[in-house]
Amino acid sequence: MSYKRLLEVLNGNEMQEWSSLLETQLFEYYSNINHGDYPRWKSAVDNLPIISDVSIDLNLDSVTVGSESECKNEQQAEIKEQLKDLMPWRKGPFDLFGIDIDTEWRSNLKWNRLKGQIKPLENRMVLDIGCGNGYYGWRMIGENAKYVVGMDPTLLFIMQFSAVKKYLPDANIDIIPLGVQELPKSQLNFDTVFSMGVIYHRRDPAEHMTQLMNCLKSGGELVLETLVIESDERVALNPDGRYSKMRNVWSIPSCSLLTQWAEDVGFINARIVDVTKTTAEEQRQTDWMIYESLSDFLDKEDSNKTIEGHPAPTRAILVAEKP
């Protein structure tokens, strides 16, 4: 995978130091992949048939690339076979050449809740930390973002993104296969930074907030989504063990505490723009994600509780600005 254009874009947007560091990090990463499924996933992407000049629509609920009429029947069958080899698909939905990838999360619902609550993304440099397979990044490109840089350490998500980008090679979006801990100490220069579903996996929420602040230029906007608990007090749930069968969930704040976390590191105009309980309409098992999903994570007798007895998942979106 080539990151030449991304490095050039970072250099042209006053992030030369990160560009230089990334060049080394990416070389080391791709030189040392030892994941047992990587050859199969890479083969799936490589074997996708080449189809040029495809139509796109990035403003529909499904990220839509190509249409059924733009490929032959045997090509469509081959595309579906290769995409199935990249299961499970968690974030989406996608529509590739008439193939409906019905993902575990109907991520369009969250996107529709937040897109009207943030600054317009047109001509903005965007960093999406914990971006998954890039669904939200494609929607950001649909909103005419200048360039979207995603970060996610999960190799399967990188390969899913690569499958979609194979048909849109000139799109202004890339995903870096690194985690948030690989962010540089140097000041970055993004207009908007997204961190969705990350902070509760970080041992030190203040440190993560500081990292996000460091990624933004003055006047830039933070969009942070997280699990929250219902309380008027500035309190947090610190699960002892798993939460909703998830490991490494360290701290789930109330909305009041979440806002305080942002303000404590210097963000201004911090406000909660959405609070929504997660339901089976938004997260569920599908033919493209055949493993356990939300219904398996909840108490069978009381859907208001997780299987461990904690409050069932509710998610909030915080928006704030860097002075």
Whether pLDDT at 222 is above 90:
yes
Q: How would DSSP label each residue in 127-156?
A: EEET-TTSHHHHHHHHTT-SEEEEE---HH
| Average pLDDT score over residue span 2-12 | 96
* Range 70-78, long-range pairs (CB < 8 A, 24+ positions): 70/97, 71/97, 75/49, 75/51, 78/47, 78/48, 78/49
CA distance 171 to 147: 9
Strand partners, 196: 225
| Average pLDDT score over residue span 1-7 | 94
Q: Model confidence over 186-195: pLDDT tens digits?
A: 899 999 999 9
Rounded (10°) angle between helices 135-142 and 107-114: 40
Per-residue pLDDT at 21 = 96
CA distance 176 to 255: 30
| Average pLDDT score over residue span 170-175 | 97
Whether pLDDT at 39 is above 90:
yes
| pLDDT bracket for residue 1 (50, 70, 90) | confident
**Structural domains of the chain ordered from first start:** 4-321 (3.40.50.150)
What's the burial of 234, exposed, middle or buried (CB within 10 Å: 0-12/13-18/19+)?
middle
Average per-residue pLDDT in the chain?
A: 97
Find out whether 240 and 248 touch, Cβ atoms under 8 Å.
no
pTM of the model: 0.97
Q: Model confidence over 47-94: pLDDT tens digits?
A: 999 998 999 999 999 999 999 999 999 999 999 999 999 999 999 999
End-to-end CA distance of the chain: 37
